[in-house]
Structure 1
Amino acid sequence: MRFHYSTLTAAILTILTTSHAYAENTKTEKQVALLPIVVEAQQGNEVGKQVYTQEDIKKITNVNKNITDFLRVNPNVQFSTDQSAASSQGELKPAEISINGAQSFQNNFIINGVSNNHLINPAESGGNAYNNFSTGSQGMAINTDLLCQIELRDSNVSAEYGNFTGGVISADTCAPKTEVGELHGTISYDYTSSDWSRFNFLTERESELFEEPSASHQKEFSKQGISANLYGKLSDAWSMNSYASKRESIIPVLSGFDTPYKVDQKRHNDNFGTTLFYEGNENLKAKFGIDYGLLDSMTYTASRRNSGSTLESQSLTTFAEIEQQLDGVKLTHKLNYQNLDSMRDSDNNYGYMWHYSAGSKDWNDSKTVSEGSILGDLNLEQASYSYQLKAALDPITWGKTQHQWIIGSGYEHFDVSWKRHEDVYMSNTSAINIKDLGQQSCLANDALCDATPTIQGWNGQYIAAGTIYKAGEFQAQQDRFHLFVEDQIKWGNFTTRLGVRGDYDSLSGNLNIAPRSTLQYRPFNDQRLRFTSGWNRYYGAQTLGTELQDLVGTLQEKMSRSSTTADWVITPAANSSNTRRSDLDTPYTDERVFAINSEMGIWDVGLKWVHRDFKDEISRTRTDVPNNGFNFSYQYANDGHGASDIYSLSIHNTQPILWGATRNRFSLGVDYSDVFRSYADYNAEFKEAEQERFVMYGGKVIRWSERPATNFNQPWTARASWDIQLTQLPITISNLWMYKAAYDDMLKDAVKVDYNGEKIESYSAQEIKPRFTWDIRTSYDWDLGKNYHAIFGLSINNLTNHRNRYSTGSSSTTTPRIMAEIGRQFMADVSFKF
């Protein structure tokens, strides 16, 4: 598609080509800084921990302005195969990520010190169904423009952190450092659209799918966002930072009707917050804040009348943190409250299908017509209170060793609920559900009866049967307690951290003990060479939706009537898909880490191996227990398992390299991932016999459970960056190259093969060709005078417009479809600082 030159684009290009004479003659004024809220001692080259500053965040192209999209720079983070799909570029929801092979919902996201995880149904594959919908893993999709720091702990994680089997992602908004009485701020705006993007279709069939815009193939979209920070020091002791952002995406899609021909599906992501900081003296510091987030998605079903529906997730968090320095110990208190309210709000509480009848049921030209909701209203609510206490003792010397003890404990209370506010009525055009009116007549005010002749020659039609999804509410509570002890020991050339964490939750009654340890040896007692190893256990967070689903199925009923004048008869609906809860163990992973790091001059080189065994993961297991007349049923169990090996090499310069009139920073990361998983997630059906059956794959006989993971498992990837700062011009240029090697997906063959006298299914390796992207961002900082700056930025994803592809994935019953990723894409932004 042709690049669209807007007023904003013209302004940016004009500024970037402006003569440097103005910049040379402009007096440089004092810059006012924003600092991360959490300022800690330099941890120096800690394996498994990466800290990204505000500068790092701003130099990476990020169309959706969220944390997970930024983390594509990290070699231990894997994205879904369709993360860059051309068909979904209008979405704002953060991408799901896997860290070192873990489930995408088993990461611990922390915003301003508060856990930011959905616990009811966070699985990406949860989808949208009558009794549930996927909330995604993050409660609040915070805008990265509001952040000063993102910290990722992917391995060798301290005993201080729990409730994950993947990694810990911590993000912090900013603390001001200004003169007393001064207020400063930043306002930013960004824009992109389908007119600024290229679509590189791989086949004629795929091109046909994009001929007209639809929700599943978003040919048209526009995204824009605005964010603002206002910060300052109110007195010698008090300072504040207030922040807000609003993002909107509009996705026009065909309505399926003549009028209107198109409707706008909309997405919104809003963030608001304020933090107050207190620093009375060196021994007492505190911060108090509130964060609010709203992420919603408004959709319509094509050719279905009155089918509007909105998925909405609201997050409200209040937090307080007090830091006290006493004799020999620093105490940190954290007290938090959070409410995550997710809802599906439909335009109505019914969904019916009719045979076409001219003059009545004729709102679109087809044999059948539909109206109303396809799912109905539903609320998933999660409220939590938490208190944490951490004591960091001053270092002590014992013989030739130095020890620093850290002790902490905490309590969390969760209330979760599933609620349908009103009955939802559904019916389709099956022979049971809709009948010929014949010689009957419709009673007055009977909306489920129509006396107009139908397309197949009936005198009229009436709904004789359907399904009722009853209103109801189910609740569950959970209390969690944790305690950890950790000792950081220095002894000559050795540094070690020995810790243990204990977690107890009231729902399962499980007491989980997780040892954590890491050892580092520096043969030269400096940073020239370091060997690091680690042995750790991590326990995940139990998905609380499993506590609610076993009763949800009881709300489904059948409705029927024998004639238009007969009373409705309500009977229980036989259903085999309901899932019972059972006594569940907490999922956990055992980790082994080995790393070699070296600082040679200004270069830091690291080689790391992470091995993980995933055990007791929650599965939806099919059983032989009869239910509702069926000879099988389902229950949640701990049948899931998996393993991963992640090898990574990283190189970067610790100080900028001066070349002519430029300052340059380089980095290179190469990683290899080998991941297998016995099942998809807790929503997918798990059959023991299915896992044990033999199949032929790639010329070898394997068990189905031994197949490679079909997602979050890109084998070879490479990332390289080159950041350029011009010393004679206020211009910065950041480049990020990413290469993902070819890999094989499973394609089911048409014929079976013989194995030990039996016929088994055969699968071939479907090669997914290598993917390459070159993302570039450039910005121009225009000094407008005393403490006033205008910053113009232009980001280009996939600069070379490389024709990348991805696989939609496969299972035992489906085959993958090869689809195109988005091509070259532009995004422009402008910021004003004062």
Structure 2
Amino acid sequence: MRFAYSPLSFAILSVLAVQTYANESTDQVIQSAPVSMTPIEVEIKAKQEVGKTIYSKEDLEKTPNSSKNITDFLKVNPNVQFSQNQNASGSQAELKPAEISINGAQTFQNNFIVNGVSNNLLINPTDSDSNTMHSFGTGSQAMAVNTDLICSLEVLDSNVSAAYGQFTGGVINAQTCAPQTEIGKIHGSITYDYTESDWARYNIISQKEQDLFEEPSDTNQKEYTKQGLSTNVYGKLSEQWGFNSYVSKRNSVIPVLSGFESPKKINQERNNINLGTTLFYSPSETIKSKFGFDYGLLDSLHYAESRRDSESTLDTETVTLFSELEHRFGPATITHKLNFQNSDSSRESDKDYGLIWHFAEGSKDWTDSKTVSEGTMLGQLEQNQTALSYDVQAEFDLFKIGQTQHSVLGGLGYSHAEVDWKRAYDVLITNSNSTNLKNLGNYTCQADDYLCDANTTVQGWTGQYFASASIYKAGEFSAQQDRFNAFIEDNIQWSDQFSTRLGIRADYDSLSSNFNIAPRSSLSYKPFNDDRLQVLAGWNRYYGQQTLGTELNDAIGQLMYKSTRPNPETDWVESFSSSSTSTRRSELKTPFSDETVFGVNTQIKNWDLGLKWVNRKFQDEISRNRTDIPQDGFNFSYEYANDGHGEADIYSLTLRNREAINFAGTQHLFALGFDYSEIFRSYTDYTSAYQDADQDRLISYDGKIIQWADIPAPNFNQPWTARINWDIAFDATPLKVSNFFSYKDSYDDMISNGKIEHNGSKIDSYIASEIKPKFTWDMRTTYDLDLGKDLKAIFGLTINNITNRVNTYVTGAASTSSTPRVMTELGRQFIADVTFKF
């Protein structure tokens, strides 16, 4: 690893300089009591509950997290699964959060909440990497929140309260920090982190992969620098007022080949910006309020190799306004939440056309090849989402009925969401095939005709002109959705041993006119009348979200036209271009999952042990069905339906010690998580073609005859995983070491293997190709250094994959006829950071 001159180098030198000054000035300072840094928030250890995990700011800071986002941190949770290519070597400079599945659910069916506001995108959340003429994947989260700005992260993976809706997976609830400091003093922190490609190892295992990484590219990021700067400033201005302000920026620069002689390389960029302020106001002991804003910008700059004027920018800009008022009203505490969010996603391109010409000296000659390209790849698009919501909840004081004690929580909510899709101008796309590009011959190019060129081409044409092109028309479409919800639940303590939670949630959706009832119930038994042993069983239903993009796609599909002309001296003639890929809207039900959960929590001396089984049955999932209904000249067509289904069984074990174990002057904390998953799904997601006839057809899989509907889920389906956190603190030195070990057992990927004979007919055959186990050991170490009064520096170093183990993954979709390619994950990687606290 070579030493890289970076802003981090200067930050470290500055710290050392300040330390030197502090040492030299010691004799001039009157001695006083040692200064202890004021925490931003007092940590209260949460009671262990089945299906609920709360991570503190300390957990977020000490866990190795190279991307500084919420989903990357959740690798520590045994109920969370990631995509097979999460740690791919070729994408380490990306800043967009990884997609996750909780208990087998679709990645876009989690409810992300930031400061009480839903952070979910509703237009096209299924694939954060998709990019087509009509849409682009934004991912499931509007803002990529930097974990440096978060003080509490709550994960509800099962047995979820009726207070939460709009998910079939889980709820991730993030809160920025609330100041608990002395009045009149301002505290804060500044953190800077840095890494680059030269600080990482690439473990190439095949010639094909070596060829892909021979030169840096957008999809195989051989070269990059990634760095981030974040700050929190907080304080109590008076007994009534407090504030917290925060800002961060993360940036990646990715040099890639331009395809031109000059410049040889060109820089692509990724940026993620978060900023916001929260004000806290407590005029009395019975009234508390907070209000503020969050802002997020996630953008990426791209170029297409060897294509002139191909610059495009994808960005998502989100503004959230939130407010919360809590007050006493009679026997209840009432909480009001009023929130507004606007998320604007766009794809900006240099040109409104994309062309491929034959090489022509003197005009179409910017690359030395038979064809040359220019202009956009996909064109400009805008996607906007606006949401306004109001919720009120009442938590009643404990009361008794007979021998039972009751804790009742109830609430009402309303939200209005609008989504818009817009293409501001027509986009023309054409290429050099024989139908589109013609010999100019004896014709003449007209003035200002950018689709005609009079220079002699490489194959001897007197010139060239485009006679045919695809036109993607400008257009604007919108959809809106009103949602109403009401819930009530009663936590009943029958005795010291028995308690139940009886809840019910009702949701109404104006888009589909669905009125959905979701019961939530659980039974808890403590045989020893205390927390030493708890057995819990729960039965719950969760209704998810409809993806509003399905309401737009039918109309968007009508914007495809064909434009032709017999020669360059005549006018273009436009005609509607039929497409078999457009999808009709239909009356859709709301997807839901039924859950059965059984859990055991026990305390054995200093250890908390948890065992849990979660069964999820997913129904009415939105599918894209191929039908026999003719449309626009095709003898088939597509429509959205509710034919998707699946099932998941998740078995997990967790073990952690409550108090640190003292050994030879060191303090040790352990957290272990093991899980086993069995997941199948009848389809991929609502963007993939689904044929009802396919579901019952027989296939051969790994020597067994099964129905197509029973094939293994193609992703987010690692059967066995183990995760271990081991934190070490030293009594004699301010050094801390946090280790994270992850093991993912081997699994079978599904690959086509021709056909076999079965009962007198040929059926498709698939084999199970074993993917080897994965093991990673990530470590983060920090060293605290006092610099003087109210000033501390913390030096940090994260090392991912310490052992430089060669881990592999499979590219491409499973369950297809194409042979997947085995690629490698990133090897050993170093990330350095420094934090100043004041």
Q: TM (normalized to structure 1)?
A: 0.97
Q: CA deviation at 1:765?
A: 1.3
Indicate the residue corresponding to 1:286 in structure 2: 289
Indicate the residue corresponding to 2:456 in structure 1: 453
8 Å contact from structure 1 (residues 3, 197) kept in 2? no
Q: In 2, distance between residues paired with 1:186 and 1:551?
A: 50
Indicate the residue corresponding to 1:733 in structure 2: 737
**Once the two structures are superposed, what CA deviation does each residue of 1:218-250 show, in whole Å capped at 9, x if it has no partner?**
101110000011111111100111000000001
**Once the two structures are superposed, what CA deviation does each residue of 1:68-126 show, in whole Å capped at 9, x if it has no partner?**
00000000000000000001111000000000000000000000000000001100267
Q: How does 1:321-720 map to 2 (within 5 A)?
A: 321-492=324-495, 493-720=497-724
- Counterpart code for 2:433: S
- State whether structure 2 residue 63 is matched by structure 1 residue 60: yes
- Counterpart code for 1:208: D
8 Å contact from structure 1 (residues 15, 780) kept in 2? no
Cα 1:125–1:276 change in 2 (3 A) is closer
Q: CA deviation at 1:327?
A: 2.4
Q: In 2, distance between residues paired with 1:431 and 1:141?
A: 46
8 Å contact from structure 1 (residues 614, 641) kept in 2? yes
Indicate the residue corresponding to 1:744 in structure 2: 748
Q: How does 1:270-281 map to 2 (within 5 A)?
A: 270-281=273-284
Match of 1:152 among 137, 144, 155: 155
Cα 1:460–1:829 change in 2 (3 A) is same
Q: CA deviation at 1:191?
A: 0.3
Q: CA deviation at 1:64?
A: 1.1
- Counterpart code for 2:119: N
Which consecutive residues of structure 1, in runs of 5 or more, have no partner in the other structure? none
Q: CA deviation at 1:216?
A: 1.0
- Counterpart code for 1:50: T
8 Å contact from structure 1 (residues 352, 426) kept in 2? yes
Match of 2:102 among 99, 103, 123: 99
**Once the two structures are superposed, what CA deviation does each residue of 1:788-830 show, in whole Å capped at 9, x if it has no partner?**
1011100000011011111114233322211100000010000
Q: In 1, distance between residues paired with 2:398 and 2:145?
A: 37
Q: How does 1:749-788 map to 2 (within 5 A)?
A: 749=753, 751-788=754-791
Q: In 2, distance between residues paired with 1:27 and 1:224?
A: 37
Q: Comparing 415-424 with 6-15, which one deviates more in the overlay? A: 6-15
- Counterpart code for 2:717: N
Indicate the residue corresponding to 1:830 in structure 2: 834
2:179 counterpart SS class: strand
Amino-acid identity (%)? 57
8 Å contact from structure 1 (residues 319, 334) kept in 2? yes
8 Å contact from structure 2 (residues 591, 619) kept in 1? yes
2:40 counterpart SS class: strand
Indicate the residue corresponding to 1:192 in structure 2: 195
2:570 counterpart SS class: coil
- Counterpart code for 1:175: A
Match of 1:32 among 2, 19, 38: 38
1:360 counterpart SS class: coil
1:132 counterpart SS class: coil
Q: In 1, distance between residues paired with 2:482 and 2:667?
A: 52
Q: CA deviation at 1:28?
A: 3.1
8 Å contact from structure 1 (residues 26, 785) kept in 2? no
Q: In 2, distance between residues paired with 1:661 and 1:9?
A: 32
Q: CA deviation at 1:6?
A: 6.1
8 Å contact from structure 2 (residues 11, 834) kept in 1? no
Q: In 2, distance between residues paired with 1:660 and 1:132?
A: 59
8 Å contact from structure 1 (residues 349, 423) kept in 2? yes
8 Å contact from structure 1 (residues 792, 831) kept in 2? yes
1:482 counterpart SS class: strand
Q: In 2, distance between residues paired with 1:6 and 1:473?
A: 46
1:576 counterpart SS class: coil
Indicate the residue corresponding to 1:812 in structure 2: 816
Q: Comparing 589-598 with 201-210, which one deviates more in the overlay? A: 201-210
Q: How does 1:213-232 map to 2 (within 5 A)?
A: 213-232=216-235
8 Å contact from structure 2 (residues 15, 793) kept in 1? no
Q: CA deviation at 1:546?
A: 0.7
1:62 counterpart SS class: coil
Q: How does 1:260-279 map to 2 (within 5 A)?
A: 260-279=263-282
- Counterpart code for 1:542: Q
Q: In 2, distance between residues paired with 1:641 and 1:185?
A: 49
Q: In 2, distance between residues paired with 1:603 and 1:230?
A: 36
**Once the two structures are superposed, what CA deviation does each residue of 1:269-299 show, in whole Å capped at 9, x if it has no partner?**
0001000000111100000110000000110
Q: In 2, distance between residues paired with 1:520 and 1:43?
A: 18
1:639 counterpart SS class: strand
Q: In 1, distance between residues paired with 2:13 and 2:713?
A: 45
8 Å contact from structure 1 (residues 12, 794) kept in 2? no
Q: In 2, distance between residues paired with 1:13 and 1:639?
A: 61
8 Å contact from structure 1 (residues 508, 583) kept in 2? yes
1:212 counterpart SS class: coil
Q: How many residues align?
A: 828
Q: How does 1:796-807 map to 2 (within 5 A)?
A: 796-807=799-810
Query: Once superposed, what is the RMSD of the aligned Cα atoms?
Result: 2.0
Q: In 1, distance between residues paired with 2:170 and 2:242?
A: 32
Q: In 1, distance between residues paired with 2:57 and 2:45?
A: 17
Q: In 1, distance between residues paired with 2:203 and 2:292?
A: 46
Q: CA deviation at 1:42?
A: 7.3
Q: In 2, distance between residues paired with 1:255 and 1:692?
A: 49
- State whether structure 2 residue 53 is matched by structure 1 residue 50: yes
Which consecutive residues of structure 2, in runs of 5 or more, have no partner in the other structure? none
Q: In 2, distance between residues paired with 1:482 and 1:3?
A: 57
Q: CA deviation at 1:693?
A: 2.4
8 Å contact from structure 2 (residues 179, 244) kept in 1? yes
Indicate the residue corresponding to 1:296 in structure 2: 299
Match of 1:241 among 239, 244, 249: 244
Q: Comparing 128-137 with 685-694, which one deviates more in the overlay? A: 685-694
**Once the two structures are superposed, what CA deviation does each residue of 1:525-550 show, in whole Å capped at 9, x if it has no partner?**
11121101100000001100111111
Cα 1:42–1:205 change in 2 (3 A) is closer
Q: CA deviation at 1:704?
A: 1.9
8 Å contact from structure 2 (residues 8, 193) kept in 1? no
Q: In 2, distance between residues paired with 1:377 and 1:824?
A: 39
Cα 1:5–1:352 change in 2 (3 A) is closer
- Counterpart code for 1:34: I
Q: CA deviation at 1:15?
A: 9.2
Cα 1:801–1:5 change in 2 (3 A) is farther
Q: CA deviation at 1:305?
A: 0.5
Q: In 1, distance between residues paired with 2:566 and 2:77?
A: 63
- State whether structure 2 residue 161 is matched by structure 1 residue 161: no
2:178 counterpart SS class: strand
Q: In 2, distance between residues paired with 1:86 and 1:116?
A: 29
Cα 1:247–1:125 change in 2 (3 A) is closer
8 Å contact from structure 1 (residues 331, 390) kept in 2? yes
**Once the two structures are superposed, what CA deviation does each residue of 1:720-762 show, in whole Å capped at 9, x if it has no partner?**
111011111111110010001111101222x421111111222
8 Å contact from structure 1 (residues 125, 683) kept in 2? no
Q: TM (normalized to structure 2)?
A: 0.96
Q: CA deviation at 1:11?
A: 8.0
Q: Comparing 99-108 with 255-264, which one deviates more in the overlay? A: 255-264
